[in-house]
């Protein structure tokens, strides 16, 4: 079996490490020579090939930056082997799902591994990056079910848990569960910027701002690609904060307790 | 040397464990028999005493809930030994600092250890809770400098780092660095509540919501005690989110990159 990886950063490199074993040959491509060298030095692939050759693999993962995914998928579709199934790893799914439907690309399964961290190159790739992580897939009713099953079996081989979702629903979920937290972390850092002694912060501050300052090049593409859902999530967040402010401003302990009990109950339910 | 602890919860119990050693006798008081039993079973104190007897110790830490601190301090002031220095562990300092000044209690050093977690009883007390933590002290120019030095030396003995601050400045800082993050975590949970598949969340969500749902009884007192500064912090947060929303809604990658670069730069500076 051959697995092609288009884009040898943290995600592509980690897929290579997670899948590389006897009986599976990992082919890798990246337009950036430096990225290729790092991935090779970390043993993320068996062979460096051109994108047309990569498109002949049994399975191809497109791990390009969000704005480049459709373009890479189109290039692959030109050179694609008759039995090649393709997936991608972008954080936003509506656009690429729409492209697959419009292009009649029933061999393409839009995907999104819920793993990664701030360090974006294959230098930080690990075999275990996807272990116990959710790997979201958003096939449409037009997608070839063999393609979906083939991608799912590799996702499972990497230790992740495949979950099928409708693309639009996926984007609403990640707007709240991933994109909003990043913007919230940035906003908290902005609020704290004028403080003279912010080094006195404790554990809660560290937790809430860990993801602040994430890669502007990557995140501008993610947020632009999911602008409507993210805007709605920010609006909902502002509404909740305005409610909290109204209650805090009264200084009324009973009202505050009610507000906090609702949060406590919500957390308890969510924790189940 | 004798150290008195009034209030045998997580903080009081951990102070006991951190200070208990040959040459230092730990006296403990709590109005709740169950709390006393837990603290004794965890070896947090050498001797259980009444509050008037506790007030004769060389140093007393008041570890009562926020709303009870002034009352306990007043009770201590009635029975206080001539050389007894007293501090407290409340999260908000302006009110208690004002009380100390008004009462002429130059022997009282308002304090706030920046440590703790969701589990509020002495069952979770540890000797190392304060290790490497900041311990904020807000003496006024009326506070006896011997009292400040005595408290600071015990804080250091517990492995923490004492930092002096003006009470009002303290409250502004914790409004942003501690109280706001708790409300933000609660608001995020509220925004996510309607999602059908919120179990797909990843690491950033987990980080940003860890402190959600904190003890309503405790936090209603903390937020009520710091209502003005917390309201101002929420306002600043809403302003930042509105700015982010304006930029996100345009979907303009260049504008988004500028917004994210500012956040990235802020995080870099803050990280130093």
B-chain CB neighbours of A165 within 8 Å are: 197, 200
> With an 8 Å Cβ cutoff, is B204 touching chain A?
yes
> With an 8 Å Cβ cutoff, is B252 touching chain A?
yes
Q: Do A176 and B187 touch (CB under 8 A)?
A: no
Q: Which helix (H) or strand (E) holds A137?
A: strand A134-137
As a whole number, the mean pLDDT across chain A is 95
> With an 8 Å Cβ cutoff, is A260 touching chain B?
yes
Nearest to B260 among A136, A220, A242 (CB): A220
Residues 44-83, chain A: which have Cβ within 8 Å of B?
A: 67
Question: What residues in chain B have per-residue pLDDT under 70?
Answer: 117-119, 272
Residues 6+ away with beta carbon under 8 Å from A186: A212, A213, B240, B244, B259, B260, B263, B266
> With an 8 Å Cβ cutoff, is B166 touching chain A?
no
* pLDDT value, residue B270: 80
Helix axes A253-271, B216-225, angle to 10 degrees: 140
Left (φ > 0), alpha (ψ -120 to 50) or beta: where does B114 sit?
A: beta
* pLDDT value, residue A267: 86
Domains of chain B, CATH where assigned: 2-165 (3.40.50.720), 170-271 (1.10.3660.10)
Q: How far apart are CA B131 and CA A204, in angstroms?
A: 16
> With an 8 Å Cβ cutoff, is A218 touching chain B?
no
Nearest to B189 among A67, A248, A263 (CB): A263
B-chain CB neighbours of A209 within 8 Å are: 267
Sign of CA dihedral B178, A196, B61, B92: negative
Residues 78-107, chain A: which have Cβ within 8 Å of B?
A: none
Q: Do B231 and A249 touch (CB under 8 A)?
A: yes
Nearest to B181 among A204, A233, A245 (CB): A204
Burial of A41 (0-12, 13-18, 19+ CB in 10 A): exposed
* pLDDT value, residue A268: 85
Per-residue pLDDT tens over the stretch A259-271:
999 999 998 888 7
> With an 8 Å Cβ cutoff, is A200 touching chain B?
yes
* pLDDT value, residue B176: 98
Residue of chain A minimizing CA distance to B243: A187
Residue A213: phi and psi, rounded to 5, are 75, 20
* pLDDT value, residue B120: 76
Bridge partners, B161 (sequence order) = B134
B-chain CB neighbours of A68 within 8 Å are: none
Sheet holding A25-29, edge to edge: A47-48, A25-29, A2-6, A59-62, A85-88, A108-109
* pLDDT value, residue A120: 76
* Cα of A173 to nearest chain B Cα, Å: 7
Q: Do B234 and A244 touch (CB under 8 A)?
A: yes
* pLDDT value, residue B265: 92
Tell me which residue has tokens 């006798």: B25
Residue of chain B minimizing CA distance to A267: B213
* Cα of B137 to nearest chain A Cα, Å: 12
Q: Are strands B59-62 and B47-48 parallel, antiparallel or unpaired?
A: unpaired
Helices (H), chain B: 10-19, 33-41, 51-54, 69-79, 94-102, 145-157, 167-174, 180-192, 203-209, 216-225, 227-250, 253-271
Instruction: Choose among A115, A18, A109, A11: nearest CA to A64.
Output: A11
Residues 175-194, chain A: which have Cβ within 8 Å of B?
A: 176-178, 180-193
> How many A×B Cβ pairs under 8 Å?
282
> With an 8 Å Cβ cutoff, is B272 touching chain A?
no
Per-residue pLDDT tens over the stretch B5-51:
999 999 999 999 999 999 999 999 999 999 999 999 999 999 999 99
Residues 6+ away with beta carbon under 8 Å from A75: A51, A52, A55
* Cα of A247 to nearest chain B Cα, Å: 9
Per-residue pLDDT tens over the stretch A194-230:
999 988 888 889 999 999 998 999 999 999 999 999 9
Q: What is the mean pLDDT of residues A147-164?
A: 98
Helix-strand-coil percent breakdown of chain A, rounded to 5?
Answer: 55, 15, 30
Q: Do B234 and A245 touch (CB under 8 A)?
A: yes
B-chain CB neighbours of A222 within 8 Å are: none
Q: What is the mean pLDDT of residues A248-252?
A: 95
Q: Do B208 and A191 touch (CB under 8 A)?
A: no
Q: Which helix (H) or strand (E) holds A174?
A: helix A167-174
Q: pLDDT grade, residue A96 (50/70/90)?
A: very high
């Amino acid at each position: 079996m051959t697995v092609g990886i288009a884009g040898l950063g943290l995600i592509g490199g980690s897929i290579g490490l997670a899948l590389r074993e006897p009986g599976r040959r990992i082919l890798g491509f990246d337009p950036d020579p430096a990225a290729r060298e790092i991935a090779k030095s970390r043993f993320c692939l068996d062979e460096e090939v051109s994108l047309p050759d990569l498109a002949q693999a049994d399975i191809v993962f497109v791990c390009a930056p969000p704005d480049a995914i459709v373009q890479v998928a189109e290039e692959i579709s030109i050179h694609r082997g008759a039995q090649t199934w393709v997936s991608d790893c972008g954080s936003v799914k509506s656009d690429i799902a729409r492209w697959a439907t419009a292009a009649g690309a029933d061999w393409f399964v839009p995907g999104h591994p819920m793993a990664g961290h701030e360090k974006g190159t294959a230098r930080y790739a690990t075999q275990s990056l996807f272990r116990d992580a959710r790997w979201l897939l958003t096939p449409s009713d037009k997608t070839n079910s063999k393609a979906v099953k083939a991608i799912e079996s590799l996702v499972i081989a990497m230790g992740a848990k495949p979950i099928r979702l409708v693309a639009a629903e996926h984007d609403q979920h990640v707007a709240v569960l991933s994109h909003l937290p990043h913007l919230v972390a940035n906003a908290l850092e902005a609020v704290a910027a004028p403080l003279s002694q912010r080094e006195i912060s404790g554990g809660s501050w560290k937790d809430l701002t860990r993801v602040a300052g994430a890669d502007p090049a990557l995140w501008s593409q993610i947020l632009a690609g999911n602008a409507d859902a993210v805007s709605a999530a920010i609006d909902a967040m502002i509404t909740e904060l305005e409610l909290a402010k109204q209650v805090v401003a009264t200084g009324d302990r009973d009202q505050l307790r009610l507000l906090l009990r609702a949060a406590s109950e919500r957390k308890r339910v969510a924790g189940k």
